[in-house]
Amino acid sequence: MDNPVSDHARTEAGQSRMPATGNANWLADPAHEAPVTGTRVCVIGAGFVGLVTAAGLAQSGHTVVCVEKNEQKAAELANGDVSLYERDLPEMVNANLRRKRLSFSTDLASSVVDQDVILVAVSTPPSSQGQVDLTAFDEVLATLATVIRPDQVVVIKSTVPVGTARRAAECLNRTIGKTGQVPVVSCPEFLRESTAIYDYFHPARIVVGGSNREAVDRVVRLYRAGLAEAAPIVVTENEIAELVKYAANVYLAMRLSYINELSAVCDALHVAVGDVAYTMGLDRRIGSKYLAVGPGFGGSCLPKDLDAYIAMAERLGIDLVLAPAIRESNQRHLARTVQKVRGVVGGDFKGKRIGALGLAFKAHTHDVRSSPALAVIQVFLSEGAVVRAFDPAAMAQAQPLIPQVTMCETALDVATEADALVLLTEWPEFQVLDWAEARRRMPEARIVDARNLLSPEMMRRHGFLYVGLGQ
Ligand code: UGA
């Protein structure tokens, strides 16, 4: 019999990752045509943040030009061809292209001229020392400095080290000289990949940092146009806005490491971590979100921002204990996930056929940057395992990074002749796989569920040796 508390814990954990009901906000329905606001916006960068922001602003009624220096990408986007795997984004881009509220350009200098607000949303990847590589950001600043006017507002959306807005203002205003000051506003983004459009229209908060009141108000109005329901708007200093982004991501990473570590304790005690997490989360001071166990946290943001935060503290001469421990804890948890698989295949990966279900760093995205799935697969490969994999969206992105892995056409194909399966990404389709058929295809049915996605009782009924995390 399924334990009802366990079932509830699984449902809660799933919901914490994916809003169940799409866009409840009518403003976010691509078919809805918001009144024109008359505000002209330039969004620089058509990466994940830039493109979602450009689409969200256009959908809110602003007139947006999005600048992308990659000519092929800009041309594809201008044709409505959105290659990012992000729910509702292609529809929203296309609806606003048709309304002529959204356009794409490769020419930064000329695109900035007629705009009221310029948002910088270029990528700020990690540098080799774990700091932030501001090359793309600085290139944009250098061009802006040649064309910007004091009646325009520059908004920093990219995640940047504390103090960057102040430095950017100095850079821009050096060239403008005595004719006025260009206001620089910090407006960090808190969008999650896979629910980004939902998050854009249902923000938990909007943070606007800056010292020029008129500029800050302009940015607040820009975002308020996309809100059907009230959201706290925090007007603050640039430095606080910049730091909040790091503080939030490091805190989320800490919660994830906490629950992943707790799963090891639960394993040793033979109790279900889902039940503990669910019961803990009922305390409103704790809450239920970000308490679903996984193979380790990943993605393009949490690990990078954790590293940058640690590097910043080092520069400030602060000897942090907790943040480096989060990083270490995540590494150990990844190793624990590998150990679970080692356990079910008898200790040695050499020649073992491992079937991997999931490659993306989380479900509903094709992003494999810092994916924990790839990290554990790389260990299997390095120890001589033969790995076959399936992911509903991320196989093309993953293949160049793990060329030795055979990508399968279906999830069931992964099971064929596999010595063990390992479920690494919480795609809902894995929950409803024909597990009886998967069982038939395996010489010995063994599965490690690194997302605790499946019902242990159901899997055992199908004849699997089922191993979860902290179950
Ligand atoms: C994260 C933050 O959640 C966003 O608020 C922020 O805007 C974004 O980084 C950013 O800085 O741009 P994202 O990287 O899309 O968003 O991913 P999350 O949904 O936060 O997931 C991060 C990792 O934690 C994934 O590996 C995911 O599988 C894992 N996770 C998440 C769990 O293992 N359990 C959970 O309960 C939730």
- In terms of Cα–Cα distance, which of 310, 162, 188 is closest to 248? 188
Atom 29 in ligand 1: residue holding the nearest Cα: 297
Higher pLDDT, 16 or 371: 371
Q: Positive or negative CA dihedral for 108, 109, 113, 118? A: positive
Report pLDDT for 25: 67
Please state, in angstroms and rounded to a whole number, the distance separating the CA atoms of residues 157 and 436. Answer: 48
Mutation to probe ligand 1, out of 202, 246, 252, 330 (largest number of atoms < 8 A from CB): 252
**Could you tell me the distance, in angstroms and rounded to a whole number, from the CA of residue 242 to the centre of ligand 1?**
18
pLDDT for 180 beyond 80: no
Q: What percent of the chain has pLDDT over 70?
A: 94
**Could you tell me the distance, in angstroms and rounded to a whole number, from the CA of residue 430 to the centre of ligand 1?**
20
Higher pLDDT, 178 or 292: 292
Please state, in angstroms and rounded to a whole number, the distance separating the CA atoms of residues 319 and 313. Answer: 7
| Ligand 1 and 252: CB distance under 6 A | yes
| Ligand 1 and 17: CB distance under 6 A | yes
Q: Positive or negative CA dihedral for 452, 6, 17, 293? A: negative
Mutation to probe ligand 1, out of 301, 326, 330 (largest number of atoms < 8 A from CB): 301
Q: Which pLDDT band, with edges at 50, 70 and 90, does 179 fall under?
A: low
Residue 405: exposure state from Cβ atoms within 10 A (0-12, 13-18, ≥19): buried
Q: Catalytic annotation on 171?
A: no
Average pLDDT, the chain: 93
In one-letter notation, the amino acid at residue 167 is R
State both tokens at 198: 């939902």
Which of left, alpha, beta for 195 (phi over 0: left; psi -120 to 50: alpha)?
alpha
Give 252-296 pLDDT, tens digit per residue: 999 999 999 999 999 999 999 999 999 999 999 999 999 999 999
| Ligand 1 and 290: CB distance under 6 A | yes
Q: Which pLDDT band, with edges at 50, 70 and 90, does 442 fall under?
A: very high
Q: What is the pTM of this model?
A: 0.93
**Could you tell me the distance, in angstroms and rounded to a whole number, from the CA of residue 372 to the centre of ligand 1?**
12
Report pLDDT for 177: 63
Report pLDDT for 8: 30
**Could you tell me the distance, in angstroms and rounded to a whole number, from the CA of residue 289 to the centre of ligand 1?**
11
Ligand 1 atom at minimum distance from 249 CA: 2
- Contact in structure between 225 and 61 (CB atoms under 8 Å): yes
| Ligand 1 and 189: CB distance under 6 A | yes
Catalytic one of 42, 187, 301, 408: 301
Mean pLDDT lowest for which of 2-6, 242-246, 263-267, 343-347? Answer: 2-6
Q: Positive or negative CA dihedral for 428, 430, 433, 435? A: negative
Mean pLDDT of 131-157: 96
pLDDT for 346 beyond 70: yes
**Could you tell me the distance, in angstroms and rounded to a whole number, from the CA of residue 394 to the centre of ligand 1?**
17
Atom 5 in ligand 1: residue holding the nearest Cα: 190
Give 32-78 pLDDT, tens digit per residue: 899 999 999 999 999 999 999 999 999 999 999 999 999 999 999 99
Please state, in angstroms and rounded to a whole number, the distance separating the CA atoms of residues 461 and 470. Answer: 20
- Contact in structure between 388 and 451 (CB atoms under 8 Å): no
Please state, in angstroms and rounded to a whole number, the distance separating the CA atoms of residues 409 and 249. Answer: 35
In one-letter notation, the amino acid at residue 410 is T
- Contact in structure between 200 and 174 (CB atoms under 8 Å): no
Report pLDDT for 9: 32
The neighbour count for residue 318, using CB atoms within 10 Å, is 10
Mean pLDDT of 315-333: 98
**Could you tell me the distance, in angstroms and rounded to a whole number, from the CA of residue 100 to the centre of ligand 1?**
33
CA atoms within 13 A on the CB side of 379: 15
Atom 24 in ligand 1: residue holding the nearest Cα: 297
* Contacts of 289 by beta carbon, 8 Å cutoff, 6+ apart: 16, 281
Report pLDDT for 27: 81
Give 6-31 pLDDT, tens digit per residue: 333 333 333 333 343 344 567 888 88
State both tokens at 388: 């076959």
In one-letter notation, the amino acid at residue 72 is Q
Please state, in angstroms and rounded to a whole number, the distance separating the CA atoms of residues 144 and 2. Answer: 60
- Contact in structure between 197 and 89 (CB atoms under 8 Å): yes
Mean pLDDT lowest for which of 5-9, 130-134, 203-207? Answer: 5-9
Helix (H) or strand (E) holding 447: strand 446-449
Please state, in angstroms and rounded to a whole number, the distance separating the CA atoms of residues 63 and 40. Answer: 5
- In terms of Cα–Cα distance, which of 99, 103, 40, 33 is closest to 67? 103
Atom 11 in ligand 1: residue holding the nearest Cα: 301
